[in-house]
């Protein structure tokens, strides 16, 4: 048996954990420089606030309904996610954390231990609520895809109270028949449109397809999904957990940028993030993709990108920052209102398979980078960095409605009244 | 999870009187030591730290500016010092489940009756409180 446990509107729910004043109020969370709504709590959902819409479009609606608006407080969410995952992990010996708010559990040999999955699901829900004040939904199924379907039912379909179980033909049919195929794990909107043309509308209809035909028509992923919907386990965590093959850091600016120092500072900061991620997974990159652009809504759209080829694969922030400096003059153009920039490390190789080259000496300084990472881990992100990453702070994101970092900064710990 | 600074590693480094020569034999053991988290926090995932304001709990030894360590996993019994969400505020009181009341430790303050029209959620049990006998600069900014 598999379970998928995930938080209900995680970001919005997390905002309520240490702010009792907004527990019973509608709350939405913005992301991407406060440009877009990314989480809507159930109370706000009842007011028909759309998720994933631009903020400016719903701003008036939010004001009319006294909806509490917050910027994404990633420090808080990461800490609450850790706590939530750790509590969920107590209920099973095999846990796979799939995203910041979703966790799979694989129950093998629990048949005699857990008598009733429904009751067990409620125990998980109650415990997570009690210990972290985060609401979660729990779905059980014989495959990860069916567990995900049950989880969808638990939270979205009427007649379920936060827990749903698929453990026989009747329960599988009852849930899949009421589910749009676009809500099936791994299908998504675009694929669902094509399926609809073939008259496949519900998850149940998708489950009736021949897996081999689906493979020919679409891909091996869809074939596996169909098999999983029929109770055949095809997914393997090791497939999912693989090291990332590309690492990107990109972001749009809070306000448009004109000056070259500001743009360069932003690029160096992206390089810093990519370098750190590369070292964390012990990868090296052969190519660095560097780009900057104006907004596509500008009259004249400007975009310049460069693919920088290293003579030796690297994960050294200094080496990558030099690459940025080398191509920067070609990317920057005075007068352009820059909206977005970023870097991407492509063609990654493992550190351990690194071969040395007689004619191109290695420029990396692993000791220095190790020291840099150690200092930043110990004293906080950005404590030590390249001087060129600190020349300008205009590149930072807008978080105008940010809540305090209740669990990660002393001066932000919650106040408790004794009067 | 980790409470950052509350992790107090006692580091046995001896002062070496400015003489160069033999390295302190203790240098190899700097990572050892006791942790306050380990001693004081039974359920790290369910515990948070808040700061107290007000004088209604002085009789149980909770003063303005004390740190309250709140454990959400602990089962609350009558008489426990607890933190609750009462109408949108975190309050620290003594629990009286039997009479659906929250009591202050100080007799000056009246008991608070919880009625169905109140928003009430039990947050957790105050398993310990910490008094700073010298003001910590980190905490100074959270004082009301």
Between CA A117 and CA A370 the distance in angstroms is 47
Q: Is B79 left (phi over 0), alpha (psi -120 to 50) or beta?
A: left
As given in the structure block, the two tokens for residue A53 are 């819409």
Chain B residues with CB under 8 Å of A412 CB are: 142
Q: Place B11 in a pLDDT band, splitting at 50, 70 and 90.
A: very low
CB A86: neighbour CB atoms within 10 A?
17
pLDDT > 90 in chain A, percent: 57
Is residue B117 flagged as an active site residue? no
Burial B21-59 (b: 16+ CB within 10 A, else e): eeeeeeeeeeeeeeeebeeebeebbbbbbbbbbbbbbbe
pLDDT reading at A410 higher than 90 = no
In the block, tokens 């972001």 appear at A251
Between CA A267 and CA A327 the distance in angstroms is 11
Tell if the CB–CB gap between B139 and A411 is shorter than 8 Å: yes
State how far the alpha carbon of A335 is from the alpha carbons of A256, A257, A260, A300, in Å: 11, 10, 10, 11
* Whether A113 contacts A202, CB under 8 Å: no
Q: Place A166 in a pLDDT band, splitting at 50, 70 and 90.
A: very high
- Secondary structure element (H or E) that encloses residue B82, with its range: strand B81-86
Chain B residues with CB under 8 Å of A406 CB are: 48
Judged by a CB distance cut-off of 8 A, whether residue A297 touches chain B is no
Which listed residue (B24, B35, B42, B56) is catalytic? Answer: B56
Is the pTM higher than 0.80? The answer reads no
pLDDT reading at A73 higher than 60 = yes
Q: Where are the alpha helices (DSSP H) in A143-254?
A: 144-156, 169-177, 188-197, 203-207, 211-217, 220-229, 237-241
pLDDT at B60: 96
Is residue B56 flagged as an active site residue? yes
pLDDT at A22: 96
Tell if the CB–CB gap between A410 and B91 is shorter than 8 Å: no
Q: Is the pLDDT higher at A282 or at A298?
A: A282
Between CA A344 and CA A415 the distance in angstroms is 42
Tell if the CB–CB gap between A23 and B92 is shorter than 8 Å: no
* Whether A287 contacts A345, CB under 8 Å: yes
pLDDT at A31: 81
Q: Is the pLDDT higher at A309 or at B102?
A: B102
Instruction: Give the gap in angstroms from C-alpha A132 to the nearest C-alpha of chain B.
Output: 6
Judged by a CB distance cut-off of 8 A, whether residue A123 touches chain B is no
When CB atoms are compared, the residue of B88, B92, B141 closest to A411 is B141
Q: Place A189 in a pLDDT band, splitting at 50, 70 and 90.
A: confident
As given in the structure block, the two tokens for residue A320 are 């990558």
Selected residues 128-187 of chain A with any CB under 8 Å from a CB in chain B = 130-133
pLDDT reading at A67 higher than 50 = yes
What average pLDDT is seen over chain A?
89
Tell if the CB–CB gap between A416 and B83 is shorter than 8 Å: yes
pLDDT reading at A107 higher than 90 = yes
Max mean pLDDT range (A11-15, A187-191, A299-303, A345-349): A11-15
pLDDT at B22: 55
B134 CB-contact burial (10 Å; exposed 0-12 / middle 13-18 / buried 19+): exposed
pLDDT reading at A132 higher than 60 = yes
Judged by a CB distance cut-off of 8 A, whether residue A82 touches chain B is yes
Q: Place A238 in a pLDDT band, splitting at 50, 70 and 90.
A: low
pLDDT at B144: 53
Residue to mutate among B45, B83, B109, with most A CBs inside 10 A, is B45
Q: Place B13 in a pLDDT band, splitting at 50, 70 and 90.
A: very low
pLDDT at B4: 41
Q: Is the ipTM of this complex over 0.85?
A: no
Instruction: Give the gap in angstroms from C-alpha A385 to the nearest C-alpha of chain B.
Output: 22
Q: Place A278 in a pLDDT band, splitting at 50, 70 and 90.
A: very high
Chain A residues with CB under 8 Å of B123 CB are: 20, 133
For A390-409, the pLDDT digits (tens) are 777 665 667 788 899 899 88
Tell if the CB–CB gap between B121 and A20 is shorter than 8 Å: yes
Between CA A287 and CA A309 the distance in angstroms is 5
Q: Place A125 in a pLDDT band, splitting at 50, 70 and 90.
A: very high
Max mean pLDDT range (A134-143, A181-190, A248-257, A277-286): A134-143
pLDDT at A388: 85
Tell if the CB–CB gap between A417 and B72 is shorter than 8 Å: no
Between CA A171 and CA A176 the distance in angstroms is 9
pLDDT > 70 in chain A, percent: 96
pLDDT reading at A252 higher than 60 = yes
Between CA A143 and CA A233 the distance in angstroms is 5
As given in the structure block, the two tokens for residue A370 are 């190790």
pLDDT at A53: 81
Instruction: Give the gap in angstroms from C-alpha A84 to the nearest C-alpha of chain B.
Output: 7
Q: How far, rounded to the nearest angstrom, does the alpha carbon of residue A314 sit from its chain's CA centroid?
A: 26
Q: Which residues contact B48 (CB under 8 A, 6 or more apart)?
A: A18, A406, A407, A413, A414, B70, B72, B124
pLDDT at A296: 74
Tell if the CB–CB gap between A417 and B92 is shorter than 8 Å: yes
For A74-103, the pLDDT digits (tens) are 889 989 999 999 999 999 998 888 888 999
pLDDT at A250: 82
Chain B residues with CB under 8 Å of A22 CB are: 88
pLDDT reading at B61 higher than 90 = yes
Judged by a CB distance cut-off of 8 A, whether residue B4 touches chain A is yes
pLDDT at A71: 93
Chain B residue whose CA is closest to A88: B45
pLDDT reading at A155 higher than 70 = yes
For B63-73, the pLDDT digits (tens) are 999 999 999 99
Between CA A153 and CA A164 the distance in angstroms is 6
Q: In the A/B pair of chains, how many CB contacts fall below 8 A?
A: 103
pLDDT at B92: 97
pLDDT at B64: 93
Instruction: Give the gap in angstroms from C-alpha A407 to the nearest C-alpha of chain B.
Output: 7
For A221-237, the pLDDT digits (tens) are 899 999 999 999 987 76
Q: Which candidate, A128, A115, A119, places its Cα nearest to that of A5?
A: A128
């Amino acid at each position: 048996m598999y379970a998928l446990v995930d938080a209900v509107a995680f970001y919005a729910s997390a905002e309520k954990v240490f702010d009792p004043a907004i527990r019973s109020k509608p709350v939405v969370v913005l992301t991407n420089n406060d440009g877009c709504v990314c989480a809507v709590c159930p109370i706000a959902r009842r007011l028909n606030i759309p998720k994933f819409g631009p903020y400016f479009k719903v701003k008036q609606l939010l004001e009319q309904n006294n909806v509490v608006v917050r910027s994404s407080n990633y420090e808080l969410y990461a800490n609450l996610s850790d706590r939530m995952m750790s509590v969920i992990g107590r209920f099973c010996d095999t846990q796979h954390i799939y995203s910041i708010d979703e966790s799979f559990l694989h129950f093998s040999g629990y048949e005699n231990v857990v008598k009733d999955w429904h009751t067990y699901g409620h125990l998980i829900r109650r415990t997570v609520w009690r210990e972290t004040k985060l609401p979660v939904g729990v779905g059980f199924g014989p495959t990860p895809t069916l567990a995900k379907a049950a989880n969808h039912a638990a939270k979205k379909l009427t007649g379920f109270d936060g827990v749903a179980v698929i453990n026989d033909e009747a329960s599988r049919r009852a849930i899949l028949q009421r589910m749009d195929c676009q809500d099936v794990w791994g299908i998504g909107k675009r694929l669902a449109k094509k399926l609809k043309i073939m008259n496949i509308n519900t998850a149940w209809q998708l489950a009736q397809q021949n897996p081999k035909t689906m493979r020919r028509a679409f891909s091996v992923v869809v074939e596996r999904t169909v098999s999983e919907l029929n109770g055949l386990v095809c997914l393997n965590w090791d497939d999912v957990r693989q090291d990332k093959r590309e690492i990107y850091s990109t972001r749009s600016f809070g306000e448009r940028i004109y000056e070259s120092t500001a743009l360069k500072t932003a690029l160096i900061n992206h390089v810093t993030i990519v370098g750190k991620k590369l070292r964390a997974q012990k990868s090296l990159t052969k190519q660095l993709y560097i780009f900057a652009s104006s907004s596509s809504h500008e009259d004249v759209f400007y975009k310049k990108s460069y693919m920088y080829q290293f003579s030796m694969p690297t994960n050294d922030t200094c080496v990558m920052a030099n690459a940025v400096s080398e191509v920067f003059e070609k990317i920057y153009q005075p007068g352009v209102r820059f909206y977005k920039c970023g870097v991407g490390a492509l063609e990654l190789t493992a550190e351990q398979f690194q071969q040395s080259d007689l004619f191109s000496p290695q420029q990396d300084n692993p000791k220095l980078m190790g020291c840099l990472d150690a200092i930043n881990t110990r004293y906080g992100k950005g404590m030590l960095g390249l001087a060129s990453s600190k020349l300008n702070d205009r590149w930072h994101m807008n978080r105008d409605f940010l809540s305090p970092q209740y669990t990660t900064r002393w001066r932000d710990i919650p106040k408790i009244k004794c009067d | 999870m980790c409470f950052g600074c509350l992790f107090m590693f006692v580091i046995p480094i001896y002062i070496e009187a400015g003489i160069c020569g033999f390295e302190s034999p203790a240098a190899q053991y700097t990572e050892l030591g006791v942790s306050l988290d380990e001693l004081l926090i039974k359920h790290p995932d369910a515990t948070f730290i808040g700061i107290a304001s007000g004088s209604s709990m002085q009789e149980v030894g909770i003063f303005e500016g004390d740190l309250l360590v709140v454990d959400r996993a602990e089962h609350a019994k009558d008489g426990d010092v607890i933190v609750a969400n009462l109408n949108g505020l975190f309050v620290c009181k003594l629990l009286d489940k039997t009479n659906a009341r929250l009591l202050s430790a100080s007799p000056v303050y009246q008991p608070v009756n919880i009625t169905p029209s109140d928003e009430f959620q039990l947050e957790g049990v105050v398993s310990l409180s910490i008094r700073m006998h010298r003001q910590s600069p980190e905490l100074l900014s959270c004082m009301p």
